[in-house]
Amino acid sequence: MSKTILILGARSDMARAIALAFATRGYDVQLAARNAAALEADKADLEVRSRRKVTLHELDALDVAGHEAFVAGLPVLPDVVVCAVGVMGEQADNEASVERTVAVLRSNFEGPASLFTVLANRMAARGSGTLVGISSVAGERGRAANYVYGAAKAGFTAFLSGLRNRLAKGKTGVHVVTVLPGFVNTAMTAGLDLPKKLTAEPAEVGKAVWKAVEKGRDVVYVRPIWRLVMLVIRHIPEGVFKKLSI
């Protein structure tokens, strides 16, 4: 029996690479995004390259009241779900505006947590499934340069950790993977001067997510060097950290 992957936030560069990685390994694909009809070209491209079935689904991650109906409306409850929904914005704009701050918190945390709550409960009732949350190393320590986005991702990372713990203890057959990509060359980081050694390409993320799902990993840094970088950053004493610009 063929398996199905659902990609939430399917227009992102990372999501596209993840969809291709799974489709070319035999998964049918459900692409969910705002204005999903505009993904017709992506759907056709993916179908030609993988010969798998691809369907499009309208999704606004902020419409939490609509998430039960969104999941109920899918042609089949997927085997794997990847959430690539996210908004970073400019830190200067975020800190200057309550609306921007709330939009970033809701887009990276509330919306994804709501979707995963619905999906986790349905998967647990079925007895199988894998949920993959794309979070961020930005959530491991708040920095002046992006603490609004970082706080939202910290919330999502903690949510994923707790959900994994709950589902593992209940022997539900549902597994949760947290992916911490580090820097990735995508639309979100366009224009930023990123260090090459620490910056992955979307295709690397696709492969890493595939491997993490296959091997049942819990928390994955796409480039292993990030584990070390964040270990150091987490251990800098607060009195020193608050004076740094990193």
Ligand X SMILES: NC(=O)c1ccc[n+]([C@@H]2O[C@H](COP(=O)([O-])OP(=O)(O)OC[C@H]3O[C@@H](n4cnc5c(N)ncnc54)[C@H](OP(=O)(O)O)[C@@H]3O)[C@@H](O)[C@H]2O)c1
Q: Quick check: 224 and 211 in contact, CB under 8 A?
A: no
Nearer CB in complex with ligand X: 105/184: 184
241 residue type, one letter:
F
CB of 202 to ligand X, least distance (A): 7
**Residue 149 annotated to the active site:** yes
27, 70, 116, 183: residue in contact with ligand X (rule CB under 6 A): 183
Q: How far apart are CA 49 and CA 205, in angstroms?
A: 19
Site for ligand X in 113-132 (CB under 6 A): none
Smallest distance from the beta carbon of 173 to ligand X, in angstroms?
Answer: 26
| Whether the Cβ atoms of residue 148 and residue 139 lie closer than 8 Å to each other | no
Residue 103 amino acid letter: A
216 to 245: interface string for ligand X, x by CB under 6 A = ------------------------------
Residue window 58-97: x/- pattern of binding to ligand X, with contact defined by CB under 6 A: -xxxx---------------------xxxx----------
Element spanning 139, H or E: none
Task: Give whichever of 36 and 167 is closer to ligand X, judged by the CB atom.
Answer: 36
Give the integer Cα–Cα distance in Å for 21 and 203: 8
Piece of 20-28, 56-64, 115-123, 163-171 that binds ligand X (CB under 6 A): 56-64
Of 119, 134, 160, 177, which lies in the binding site for ligand X, with binding defined by CB under 6 A?
134
CB of 90 to ligand X, least distance (A): 13
Torsion-angle region of 51 (φ positive above 0: left; ψ -120 to 50: alpha; else: beta): left
**What's the closest the beta carbon of residue 86 comes to ligand X, in angstroms?**
2
Q: For residue 25, what is the enclosing H or E element?
A: none
Residue 152 contacts ligand X per CB under 6 A: no
Cβ atoms within 10 Å, residue 210: 20
Q: Which two tokens stand for residue 184?
A: 């990735």
Q: Write down the least CB distance from residue 28 to ligand X, Å.
A: 21
CB distance 179 to 132 below 8 Å: yes
Distance of alpha carbon 109 from alpha carbon 117, whole angstroms:
12
Residues that bind ligand X (CB under 6 A): 9, 11-14, 33-34, 59-62, 84-87, 107, 111, 134, 136, 181, 183-184, 186-189
- Which are the catalytic amino acids? 149
